[in-house]
Amino acid sequence: MGAGLDTTSASLAWMLWCTVLAGPDLWMRLRAEADDVLSGEGPFDETHLARLDLADRTMRETTRLHPAGSFSPRMAHVDVTIGGHRIPRGTLVMWSAHLAGRDPDAWPDPTSFDPDRFVDMAPERKALADIAWVPFGRGVRNCVGFALAQMELTLIIARLSQRLDIEATTPTKPLAVGMVVNRPDGGVPMRVNQRLHRPDVRR
Ligand code: HEM
């Protein structure tokens, strides 16, 4: 329940908050993309998912800034030196996806929410970003649900933008709380209406 549900629902809440607060332009661009890719009768498959580029970047930007797991432990199995720090075998090391996602060496203007930052990255910037984007961990003990979670978040934001008009009821960003899963305190209060003018899209 904790690994599979709380993480994804907390990320979805953060994604809605960030996307809606980014202003109507992003919502309309997501909607245009979803109308283009997810129109008609389907069935839809991974080729459609691959074309939800902006929705994918919105998911990546949200999980960069608000990784559901803020930090995670590792135990050093051998003596190792990282960044000039000697770490003896047996040491408990805490690494943080939250800090890596906000590292100014990897991310220009790190605290701003900008799904377009992933577009046309210079190779050296992309190499750093690939290392510093670790909301699902890395290595042999990374998240087993990472593909499912990314697919869910990408599809859900695309579908919500297609079906709903959403506005935040307060501009105050919720506090991040939670010992294990980083979630917005009190949820993300929104006013939700059905989309007024819909093209002929599949529900
Ligand atoms: C946005 C959603 C999610 C996020 C941000 C997330 C994040 C993480 C992180 C950071 C880890 C630890 C990785 C490490 O230490 O290197 C992890 C482990 C794990 N996750 Fe996820 N996760 C998500 C969704 C899911 C889903 C949907 C499932 C299952 C369907 C899942 C199952 C697991 C399991 C079983 C582990 C433990 C893996 C191991 O220790 O070998 N997670 N997750």
pLDDT one-digit tens code per residue, 55-86: 999 999 999 999 999 999 999 999 999 989 99
| Block residue for tokens 């010992």 | 179
* CB distance 9 to ligand 1 below 6 Å: no
DSSP 96: E
Ligand 1 mutation target, pool 60, 75, 136, most atoms within 8 A of CB: 136
Distance, C-alpha 14 to centroid of its chain: 8
Whether 187 maps to a domain, the answer reads yes
In short, whether 34's Cβ falls inside 6 Å of ligand 1 is no
Distance (Å, whole) CA 107 – CA 113: 11
Question: How many residues belong to the chain?
Answer: 203
pLDDT at 34: 97
What pTM value is reported for the model? 0.93
The C-alpha atoms of residue 46 and residue 93 are separated, in whole angstroms, by: 37
Q: Which atom of ligand 1 is nearest to the CA of 10?
A: 1
**C-beta separation of 48 from 100 below 8 A:** no
Measured N-to-C along each axis, helices 7-21 and 24-37 cross at an angle, to the nearest 10 degrees, of 120
Task: Check which CATH number belongs to the domain holding 126 and give it.
Answer: 1.10.630.10
Q: How far apart are the first and last CA of the chain?
A: 28
pLDDT at 196: 83
Between the CA of 17 and the centroid of ligand 1 the distance, in Å, is 22
pLDDT at position 141: 87
Q: Is residue 119 part of a domain?
A: yes
What pLDDT, on the 0 to 100 scale, is given for residue 139? Answer: 87
Burial string for 109-139 (b: 16+ CB within 10 Å, else e) reads eeeebbbebbeeeeeeeeebbeebbbbbbee
Asked, for residue 147, whether it belongs to a domain, the answer is yes
Is 86 inside any structural domain?
no
Residue 162: per-residue pLDDT: 95
Regions in the chain scoring below 50 on pLDDT:
203
Closest CA to 92 of 78, 80, 76: 76
Structural domain containing residue 166: 2-67+98-194
What's the pLDDT score for residue 153? 98
Q: What is the pLDDT of residue 201?
A: 52
Residue partners of 45: CB distance under 8 A and separation at least 6: none
Distance (Å, rounded) from C-alpha 174 to C-alpha 183?
Answer: 9
Q: Which two tokens stand for residue 32?
A: 């245009």
Count of structural domains within the chain: 1
3-state secondary structure of 18: helix
Q: Looking at ligand 1, which residue's alpha carbon is closest to its atom 37? A: 143
Rounded to the nearest whole angstrom, what is the distance from the C-alpha of residue 143 to the centroid of ligand 1? 3
CA of 152 to the centre of ligand 1 (A): 14
Is residue 188 in a domain?
A: yes
